[in-house]
Amino acid sequence: MNRVIVPPERTDPLSDALQHEVVRAGLDRVLRMVREHLDMDVAFIARFRRRDRVFEHVDAAGEAPIVRGQALSLEEGYCLKVVRGEMPSCIPDTSAVPAARDLAATHALPIGAHLSVPIRVDTGAVYGTLCCFHHRSDPSLGEREMRIMHAFADVIAARIEEAALADCGRRHERRELRFAMSAGAPRMVFQPIAGVDGSGVKGVEALARFDRPPMRGPDIWFDMARRVGLDHALEMQAVLNALPALDRLPASVFLAINVSPGLILSGRLLPLLEIAATLRLVLEVTEHASSPTTRRCSRRSSRCGGAGCAWRWTMPAPDLPPCGTSSISPRTRSSSTSA
């Protein structure tokens, strides 16, 4: 007779311990921990789709017979049959269970012992399964191993829901940024830079401002752009919005624009600078990264320097955003204006 193993509540100490380990190490490393703890050959997390299942995480003692990203029909294998109750969750010996013995995968992989539990989110919907298998039978498998499997599946479900919420938030942020950029953001203001000898204004620095509600500082907008992969696009738009000021400024006044090392290394800046070639344009490269990044940026900026603009490398505070507040002492500046 097959025993029914009741999944632990979310307050189970084992679930709590695994939750902390998932946060610390991530699903891949935790999957390896569980596989090794249960002494299994292969462990994986499969996500159900309409007609197939995708192996999202795979860990194996040697060469894995399945790989991450591989998709197989839902009707093949153990996963869906376990969820439907057509096959036991714990099979110490697949040769003793006809439903498992008759599967092609049992002989092809081969599978001698198999553990599988559904991953259910809070709505009760089945996300997929957590599975482990051994190439040989293992009569020692039982309630202890299934308790570990259920606890880990419970933690995975919580992490999946957190990731889904974060992904939803990123999609919202991406839409918000796209909308703001399509409306012309960021608006650029220009802060005068005075000469230290008191000889008057020598240049202006372009500073990004965002007028869309809720009102937030430029650092928040640029941080959001980095999270959703629009940082270079937003920086480029800020540069494009700032460049027309050159035509309105006196010929003796330079325009300083902050750019990040990432934008330089992307290569997207060079064509724009070749069009706007002028030594009145000063690009302030805010460097937060290591010296190898600095060297790579220096090589790329040398190419950009050939486009006819000046470069100044700055070492700002770690929280200073590109195209953001300022990178020059406030004593050398007066209030921001529009050029």
pLDDT classification of 121: cutoffs 50, 70, 90: confident
pLDDT band at residue 286 under the 50/70/90 scheme? low
What's the whole-number mean pLDDT along residues 291-317?
A: 50
Give the mean model confidence (pLDDT) for residues 39-62: 94
Tell me the HSE value of 299 on the side-chain side, using a 13 A CA sphere.
Answer: 7
Rounded-to-10 torsion of CA 298, 303, 278, 283:
-20
Q: Could you list the beta-strand ranges (E) of the chain.
A: 42-48, 52-60, 71-73, 90-91, 113-120, 126-134, 187-194, 201-209, 254-259, 281-286, 310-314
- 189 versus 300: the higher-pLDDT residue is 189
Specify the higher pLDDT residue, 271 or 37.
Answer: 37
* pLDDT computed for residue 287 by the predictor: 55
Nearest to 261 by CA among 228, 239, 283, 229: 283
The Cβ-side half-sphere exposure at 151, using a 13 Å CA radius, reads: 20
Nearest to 146 by CA among 130, 127, 124: 130
**Among 128-137, 151-160, 207-216, 308-317, the range of highest mean pLDDT:** 128-137
For residue 10, pLDDT over 90 is answered with no
Quick one: pLDDT band at residue 157, thresholds 50, 70, 90?
Answer: confident
pLDDT for the residue numbered 214: 79
Which domains, and CATH codes, for the chain?
13-164 (3.30.450.40), 183-332 (3.20.20.450)
Q: How many CB atoms are located within 10 Å of the residue 48 CB? A: 19
Per-residue pLDDT band for 338 (boundaries 50, 70, 90) equals very low
Lowest mean pLDDT among 71-80, 94-103, 159-168, 304-313: 304-313
The band of 123, judged by pLDDT with boundaries at 50, 70 and 90, is confident
Q: Which helix (DSSP H) or strand (DSSP E) does residue 232 occupy? A: helix 231-242
- In tens, the pLDDT along 85-109 reads 999 999 999 999 999 999 999 999 9
The whole-number average pLDDT for the span 56-69 is: 92
- Indicate the residue type of 118: P
What's the pTM?
0.54
Q: How far is the C-alpha of 266 from the C-alpha of 232, rounded, in Å?
A: 8
Pick from 215, 122, 214: nearest CA to 162:
122
Around Cβ 43, how many Cβ atoms within 10 Å? 27
The pLDDT of residue 129 is: 96
Contact 12, 153 (CB under 8 A): no
